[in-house]
């Protein structure tokens, strides 16, 4: 594995995981991902910023050996194992190295990796570390993505290392212009990882915007040579700016729910509304998350099965609740053969969101003409005022 020098004395020493296809047991990774770690060499000290996923320790150590300067400090911007899982091995390999992290990070390093407190120095907003001609400046950035997260900024080279924030799950490329569909990958990543933390994201964005930036080097995906490009996208996404667009996720057993869904979709298209349709459970949930980033409404379709909402639709509803998209309204389409239950369960799940339920269309048996009319009326209610 080769290292890459981003600037004199600043090296990418991470790992590309081309074969990984699932993250957190939840998020599909069609392009794999990278665990970006960076080595910053000063004249008297050397800091490693973040590490790699467990299982890649040898690759990271090999990269560090290739640069030839052992780290005196390891900066843990984030305690999640894909960035911090190699820290125990690193601290063993470099017994004099200090671990630098936030106060909460210290607690988590102990809880997750049994790192002894005496190996850890805590830093917070405004603290700096002088490496000799290179100065690291730290900022707390809680909840992008966990409560302990922080940013590291290299003053002289004007490089921000924001760990998960502003990243993308892709193993492709060193810089964003090498990734043809970078914006789509970044949006998908935002939907999956950052959308539930939009308020925290706005605060973190403000922290980034107060810095003079030449490069942004996140810990997943390519490095940004045009910081404003990603920052301007994040302004919209963290603010929750939506488009006149409806995301539809549905599952059907014998076609009744599907016919209702398609009638509503047709009515939306006739109105000139943009629609994204995801047949469950074949859907790539990352694509669903991506569309939720700026959809103004969500439609859930699922029949009753075994007295409740079809499990695939329930999963989608739970996902919507967990991801907290900025959409304003929802609609529910459902059908049943001999006894309902799906509508009640779906409404219970969606009660945990800020979505206004614009309407529920529930059909006993196969949809008839009046139901298609009702689906069209529901489309109009869903989009009123757009």
Q: Nearest-CB residue to ligand FEO?
A: 80
Evaluated on CA atoms 223, 225, 226, 227, the torsion sign reads: positive
Residue showing tokens 């048996």: 365
Select the span of 68-76, 80-88, 202-210, 299-307 touching ligand FEO (CB under 6 A).
80-88
Judged by CB under 6 A, the residue of 80, 192, 291, 294 near ligand FEO is: 80
Cα distance between the two ends of the chain: 52
Residue with Cβ nearer ligand FEO (100 or 297): 100
Select the span of 78-86, 232-240, 319-327, 336-344 touching ligand FEO (CB under 6 A).
78-86
CB 285 within 8 A of CB 312: no
Residue with Cβ nearer ligand FEO (164 or 362): 164
Q: What whole-number distance in Å separates Cα of residue 40 and Cα of residue 258? A: 55
Q: What whole-number distance in Å separates Cα of residue 40 and Cα of residue 166? A: 20
Residue with Cβ nearer ligand FEO (80 or 140): 80
Asked if 83 is part of the footprint of ligand FEO (rule: CB under 6 A), the reply reads yes
Q: How far is the CB of 365 from ligand FEO (least distance, A)?
A: 47
Q: How far is the CB of 33 from ligand FEO (least distance, A)?
A: 8
Judged by CB under 6 A, the residue of 57, 82, 291, 328 near ligand FEO is: 82
Asked if 192 is part of the footprint of ligand FEO (rule: CB under 6 A), the reply reads no
Compute how many residues bind ligand FEO; rule: CB under 6 A: 7
Q: What whole-number distance in Å separates Cα of residue 308 and Cα of residue 186? A: 36
CA torsion, points 245, 246, 247, 252, in degrees to nearest 10?
-150
Asked if 220 is part of the footprint of ligand FEO (rule: CB under 6 A), the reply reads yes
The pattern of x and - marking residues 138 through 157 that bind ligand FEO according to CB under 6 A reads -------x------------
Residue with Cβ nearer ligand FEO (11 or 220): 220
Q: Measure Cα distances from 271 to 248, 265, 278, 309 in Å.
A: 16, 10, 20, 29
Select the span of 56-64, 76-84, 104-112, 291-299 touching ligand FEO (CB under 6 A).
76-84
Q: How far is the CB of 159 from ligand FEO (least distance, A)?
A: 19
Q: How far is the CB of 145 from ligand FEO (least distance, A)?
A: 4
Asked if 16 is part of the footprint of ligand FEO (rule: CB under 6 A), the reply reads no
Judged by CB under 6 A, the residue of 11, 41, 73, 78 near ligand FEO is: 78
Q: With CA atoms as reference, report the closest residue to 137 among 147, 151, 148.
A: 151
Residue with Cβ nearer ligand FEO (196 or 281): 196
Asked if 164 is part of the footprint of ligand FEO (rule: CB under 6 A), the reply reads yes
Q: Measure Cα distances from 335 to 13, 294, 345, 377 in Å.
A: 54, 28, 13, 17
Q: Which residues contact 58 (CB under 8 A, 6 or more apart)?
A: none
HEC sequence for 347-383: HHHHCCCCCEEEEEEEEECCCCHHHHHHHHHHHHHHC
Residue with Cβ nearer ligand FEO (144 or 378): 144
Q: With CA atoms as reference, report the closest residue to 285 among 195, 350, 192, 196.
A: 192
Q: How far is the CB of 79 from ligand FEO (least distance, A)?
A: 9
Q: Which residues contact 198 (CB under 8 A, 6 or more apart)?
A: 237, 238, 239, 240, 324, 326
> Contact positions toward ligand FEO, by CB under 6 A?
78, 80, 82-83, 145, 164, 220
């Amino acid at each position: 594995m080769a290292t890459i020098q981003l600037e004199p004395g600043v090296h990418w020493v991470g790992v590309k995981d081309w074969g990984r296809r699932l993250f957190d047991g939840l998020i599909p990774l069609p392009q794999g991902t990278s665990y970006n770690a960076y080595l910053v060499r000063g004249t008297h000290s050397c800091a490693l910023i973040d590490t790699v996923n467990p299982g890649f320790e040898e690759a990271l150590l090999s990269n560090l050996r290739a640069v030839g300067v052992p780290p005196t400090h390891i900066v843990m911007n984030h305690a999640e194992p894909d960035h911090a899982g190699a820290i125990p091995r690193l601290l063993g390999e470099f017994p004099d190295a200090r671990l630098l992290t936030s106060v909460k990070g210290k607690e988590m390093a102990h809880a997750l990796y049994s790192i002894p407190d005496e190996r850890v120095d805590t830093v917070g907003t405004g603290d700096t570390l002088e490496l000799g001609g290179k100065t690291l400046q730290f900022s707390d950035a809680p909840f992008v993505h966990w409560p302990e997260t922080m940013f590291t900024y290299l003053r002289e080279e004007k490089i921000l290392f924001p760990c998960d924030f502003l990243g993308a799950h892709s193993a492709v490329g060193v810089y964003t212009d090498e990734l043809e569909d970078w914006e789509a990958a970044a949006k998908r990543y935002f939907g999956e990882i950052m959308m539930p933390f939009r308020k925290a994201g706005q605060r973190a964005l403000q922290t980034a915007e107060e810095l003079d930036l030449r490069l942004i080097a996140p810990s997943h995906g390519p490095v940004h040579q045009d910081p404003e490009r990603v920052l301007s996208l994040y302004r919209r996404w963290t603010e929750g700016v939506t488009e006149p667009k409806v995301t539809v996720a549905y599952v059907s057993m014998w076609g009744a729910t599907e016919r209702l869904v398609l009638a509503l979709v047709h009515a939306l298209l006739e109105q000139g509304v943009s629609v994204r349709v995801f047949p469950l459970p074949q859907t790539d949930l990352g694509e669903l998350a991506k569309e939720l980033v700026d959809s103004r409404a969500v439609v859930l379709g699922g029949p009753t099965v075994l007295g409740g909402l079809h499990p695939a639709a329930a999963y989608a509803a739970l996902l919507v609740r967990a991801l907290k998209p900025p959409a304003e309204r929802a609609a529910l389409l459902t059908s049943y053969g001999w006894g309902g239950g799906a509508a009640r369960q779906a409404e219970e799940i969606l009660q945990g969101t800020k979505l206004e339920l614009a309407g529920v269309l529930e059909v006993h048996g196969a949809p008839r003409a009046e139901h298609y009319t009702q689906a069209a009326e529901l489309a109009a209610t869903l989009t009123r005022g757009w």
